[in-house]
A and B are shown apart, each in its own frame.
Chain A
Amino acid sequence: METTSTVNKMSRRIRIGLIAALGLAVAGCAQDAPQDTFDPAGENAQKIQDLQVPIFILAGVVGLIVLSVLTFVLIRFRDRGQAIPEQSHGNPMLEIVLTIIPALILIGISIPTVGTILALSETDDTECIINVTGQQWWWEVDYPVQDGCGGISDVIITSGQMVIPTGTEVLVRGTSRDVIHSWWIPRLNGKKDMVPGRVHNVRLQADEPGIYAGQCTEFCGLSHANMRMEVIAMDPDDFETWKAGQMAEYVAPEEGTLAAEGEATFIAQCSRCHQVNGLEDDDGNPIIARPDLQVYSGATPNLSWLMTRNTFAGASWDLLTPECRADVWDASPETVGEKYLEGVSPECLNSVDFREWLRNAPAKKPMYTDPTELEETGGLPRGMPDLGLGEDQIDQLVAYLLERQ
């Protein structure tokens, strides 16, 4: 009886182990794996790939040898009641050899590793500089005035998605407004912590147009999991078009339209937090949002060109319906830039998620906005609070925001 139950237990364990191993193996074959470090899409990620693959193979071989020897020793010398063998006090020759071999392997690994680290921290060949700033729980992206990036004459500011020209050495200068975040686009480069008060550099270069996903990789609180980002690489020509759109003048909605009502609602409800460049009050003075007085991080996404992006709220939800999304995200490298530049048309707007956000943002994305629990942050919320808007106000705002492109 006892033996059979032990055997049963053993075989059950083996079965569970096999299933787990199978699960792991299958997970490794995911078809849709947009954040795959083993699928580099630019020279920086390629450098990492060229380093990690040989090292993984080497480590695998070493691991196999060690495991085989261990298994052999365990079986061959298991306790069969034999006498205890003669005890020795070490074997200097063997020990020296077993020290020298790993040392040589480590030296062999360290040379290309240090080389790669140095190559990835190179900044001399930069052709375009972009700033990213993390805060709970989204990334801000801004493009300082420069001759680089094909020339930027007026600061561009956006959020969640970073648009870059292909074949260009981009230098991302990152920091944070609150806690430590980490910026990682696995197919383009390694990860980098973004630390308040410090500026850390990441090189980016994409060979082909495409949308490269990533997410914050340093636990940063409640909605860490909803702090995602994308890099959109497009041909330099398309990039010029995108830039021109971001630097364009504000166009107010036509009088009497739903969007015009939306503008008024936006000014009343949203503009204390969100900047829309060019928005003016009745006296013609620019309306300056004061997120520094309204939210803990002191910043909110700039909504001037909201609908030129295709995700929102920490790139965690799509601004496009699934069909329209697939049209852009699955487009070939030749067409993806063009498709992305189409922005969000009224037909393509993912109004379910978007309206849910406007109806009650913290219900969609966990954020610290409950007024009774803001003592620690001096009464300031972390994230967008529930504004208690009515459905007609939401209609107006959607109409207004759809024109922000």
Chain B
Amino acid sequence: MFTTGSKFLIGSAVFAIIATIAYGISQDGVMGTIGLASAAAALSFLAGVNIFTHDSNVSGSDASAIDSCAAAEPAPANSIWPLAFALGAVVLAVGLITYQAVFIIGIVLLLAAGAEWTTQAWAEQASAEAAHNSEVRSRIANPLEFPLAAAIGVGLIVYAFSRVMLWLSKTNTVIALGVLGAIIVSVAFLLAYRPGLRSRTAVGVIGVGVLALVVGGAAAGLDGERDVHEQETTVDLAHEGICESPEEFEADHNASQSVAATAAVAATITLDDSGELNYELNGPRPEGATALTLQRSSPSNVLFSNKSGEERRLSLNLGPATAGSGADEEDAPHQVCTTLVEFDGEQNLTLIIGLPSIAAEDGYHFFVPGVESAELELIVP
């Protein structure tokens, strides 16, 4: 009547009860007594459950039960998911005291392993046939697993590749890509030439390649990127106060010279052959106006069109005003300029002038470094 399991549990419970009483009387310790009493209660409960379920034991005389009992089912194969799940928990715990990234990896691992484990456990109960069970599992899980795994794989490869490329110097990048191209072509050639080559071999070679890439990416990522040179701009020229110079600087190399025809700029300022600065509006120019008027504190786009024979830039000294506005006033420069614009080229200059021209002693003037006669007054009301 008493099964093996229940005998064990009943015995343990009785032992725990005796121990509780003995400890309680002899030691007079509250905590210990509570602990033992809890153990006794828990063991009694388990013993009760066990007796009620008959320990799931099968009676030797019940022939049909022998085939259908749990023990008669084929044992499922080993699973790595409990291991992965445990690993996830550990990584998560480590992440709690180290880096957030580790913590996130832990969560992902925990969730992924948990999901896999659950699906597997569920599938293993589908039928008595292992092959069928694994098929059931695949049908449910693969539509999610495959794209996800592919995305992770591709992401890993792309990321590793980019780390390697950013780590290599400009020249070495070219060499590396050349070599890579050569390898791919040779392997492709080999595969085409010898179709008999076993696919295991091909997969192996590619696997090694990917592994090398990921390892290389990790190493390169840890080592950091190569220095990327930052191209100087006209803002740098303004900061250094060299908008007055007709010389060529780095900022003047490869400058973009195109402006959309629909830009509706505030004005187009042209430097002509005779070295004069003139302006036009997107309507008629006010008759008799020698100066250009632009609103205060308003972003105004002025197009500089160079019709003189040489490369020229358009500059504007702002006197007490700065090329910034409002809060960024502090370190904003007191001049603005375009890059050198080639003959017949155009370039946009965006101005936000915080102070009216009466604030500057001689007002504001556009000028072209190197061309004395080129000057245009700017009025800011």
Report how many residues on chain A are interfacial, defined by Cβ distance under 8 Å. Answer: 45
Assess the B327–A197 pair: CB atoms within 8 A. no
B282 CB to closest chain A CB, in angstroms?
6
Assess the A275–B289 pair: CB atoms within 8 A. no
Assess the B283–A299 pair: CB atoms within 8 A. no
For A298, the closest partner residue in chain B by CB is B297
Assess the A292–B284 pair: CB atoms within 8 A. no
Residues 279 to 307 of chain B near chain A (Cβ within 8 Å): 281-284, 286-289, 291, 293, 295-301
Other-chain contact of A293, B286, B287, B300, B326 (Cβ < 8 Å): B326
Other-chain contact of A145, B266, B289, B299, B355 (Cβ < 8 Å): B289
A119: interface (CB < 8 Å): no
Assess the B286–A201 pair: CB atoms within 8 A. no
B359: interface (CB < 8 Å): yes
B266 CB to closest chain A CB, in angstroms?
5
Residues 153 to 184 of chain A near chain B (Cβ within 8 Å): 155-157, 171, 173, 175-177
Residues of A with C-beta under 8 A to B281: 129, 173, 199
Assess the B325–A142 pair: CB atoms within 8 A. no
B219: interface (CB < 8 Å): no
B29: interface (CB < 8 Å): no
B358: interface (CB < 8 Å): yes
Residues of B with C-beta under 8 A to A378: 326-327
B149: interface (CB < 8 Å): no
Known A175-B298, A298-B326: A201·B293 in contact at CB below 8 Å: no
Assess the A199–B284 pair: CB atoms within 8 A. no
Residues 319 to 350 of chain B near chain A (Cβ within 8 Å): 325-327, 329, 350
Task: Give Cα A173–Cα B294 distance, bound, in whole angstroms.
Answer: 11
B263: interface (CB < 8 Å): yes
Assess the B282–A291 pair: CB atoms within 8 A. no
Q: Mark B252-269, 1 if CB is under 8 A from A, else 0.
A: 000000000001111000
Assess the B293–A175 pair: CB atoms within 8 A. no
B210 CB to closest chain A CB, in angstroms?
47
Assess the A129–B381 pair: CB atoms within 8 A. no
For A129, the closest partner residue in chain B by CB is B286
Other-chain contact of B289, A147, A196, A291, A302 (Cβ < 8 Å): A147
Assess the A292–B293 pair: CB atoms within 8 A. no
Known A146-B289, A292-B296, A298-B354: A198·B326 in contact at CB below 8 Å: no
Other-chain contact of B296, A148, A198, A299 (Cβ < 8 Å): A299
Known A148-B288, A378-B326, A378-B327: A155·B295 in contact at CB below 8 Å: no
B84: interface (CB < 8 Å): no
Assess the B283–A201 pair: CB atoms within 8 A. yes
Residues of A with C-beta under 8 A to B283: 123, 126, 129, 171, 173, 201
Assess the B286–A199 pair: CB atoms within 8 A. no
B136 CB to closest chain A CB, in angstroms?
50
Q: Mark A278-305, 1 if CB is under 8 A from B, else 0.
A: 0000000010101111001111001000
Residues of B with C-beta under 8 A to A293: 326, 329, 354
For A294, the closest partner residue in chain B by CB is B326
Residues of A with C-beta under 8 A to B296: 292, 298-299
Residues of A with C-beta under 8 A to B329: 292-293
Assess the B288–A144 pair: CB atoms within 8 A. no
A263: interface (CB < 8 Å): no
Task: Give Cα A380–Cα B327 distance, bound, in whole angstroms.
Answer: 9
B379: interface (CB < 8 Å): yes
Assess the A155–B293 pair: CB atoms within 8 A. yes
Known A131-B295, A140-B295, A199-B266: A288·B355 in contact at CB below 8 Å: yes
Chain B interfacial positions (CB closer than 8 Å to A): 263-266, 281-284, 286-289, 291, 293, 295-301, 325-327, 329, 350, 352, 354-356, 358-359, 379, 381
A-B contact pairs, 22 of them (CB 8 A): A123-B283, A129-B286, A131-B295, A142-B381, A144-B289, A145-B291, A171-B283, A171-B284, A175-B266, A175-B298, A177-B299, A196-B298, A197-B300, A197-B301, A199-B266, A199-B281, A199-B282, A288-B359, A298-B352, A299-B295, A299-B297, A302-B381
List 12 additional contacts besides A147-B288, A173-B283, A286-B359; criterion CB under 8 Å.
Answer: A129-B281, A131-B293, A142-B293, A142-B381, A145-B289, A146-B287, A146-B289, A147-B286, A197-B299, A198-B264, A297-B297, A298-B352
